[in-house]
Amino acid sequence: TPPLQPFAIRFGADNGTLEPQGPTLQRRMSDLEGLFADRRAWEQAVADGDPVVYTVVSSPVPEAARELPQSITTIFPGDTGGEFWMTKGHQHPDPQGEIYLGLEGRGGLLLFDGDRAEWLDISPGVIGYIPPGWAHRSVNVGDEPYRFLAVYPGSAGHDYGWVLTHGMGLRARRAETEATVGAETEA
């Protein structure tokens, strides 16, 4: 397909929409198998109505080489076995950078290069930079929806198997006594 023509995209920072809009997806608890530390709590949540954990709406810019797609992800508030709701997380098979811009709510960006793990607090107005070669996962650490804009190279791709094999180095847990960030080393 030939490159797109110039066009404007209106984004609704307060409702997570993009206009014009491209593909959208919804990830339910059952789509997050093997990712939460507490498997029993995950199974229970799937049995208990399999809630939508997050949604992703994309602009019409395709995931194709040299294009620059964008998407808005909304992670709903919650925890499973004390671990905050989060995206699956992925590596880019073609290691290229990405940026996330916080739009609403309180979240975090968990980064792991297979050796070092980093945690960035993301709130409205904060840009998190994902360098090439770092797997990335987003986490909602608040009690309202957490929403961010992602901008990434169209040929970067998504490798989800890497995270299942290597983990993400850290987990974000709800503290026992208060609902604040608890990023802990993986057991």
Q: Interface residues with Zn ion (CB under 5 A)? A: 98
**Residue with smaller CB distance to ligand M6P, 100 or 181:** 100
Q: Which does 42 bind (CB under 5 to 8 A by kind): Zn ion, ligand M6P, none?
A: none
**Residue with smaller CB distance to ligand M6P, 137 or 173:** 137
CB of 171 to Zn ion, least distance (A): 19
> Collapsing DSSP states into helix, strand and coil, what is residue 41?
helix
Contact 98, 150 (CB under 8 A): yes
- Position 88 contacts ligand M6P (CB under 6 A): yes
CA dist 187 and 170 (Å) reads 9
- Position 89 contacts ligand M6P (CB under 6 A): yes
How far is residue 159 from each of residues 49, 90, 170, measured CA to CA in Å? 28, 5, 19
Of 46, 52, 56, 99, which lies in the binding site for ligand M6P, with binding defined by CB under 6 A? 56
CA dist 148 and 71 (Å) reads 8
CA dist 175 and 37 (Å) reads 15
**Residue with smaller CB distance to ligand M6P, 31 or 121:** 31
**Residue with smaller CB distance to Zn ion, 42 or 112:** 112
Name which of residues 141 to 180 contact ligand M6P (CB under 6 A). Answer: 150, 152, 158
CA dist 145 and 168 (Å) reads 22
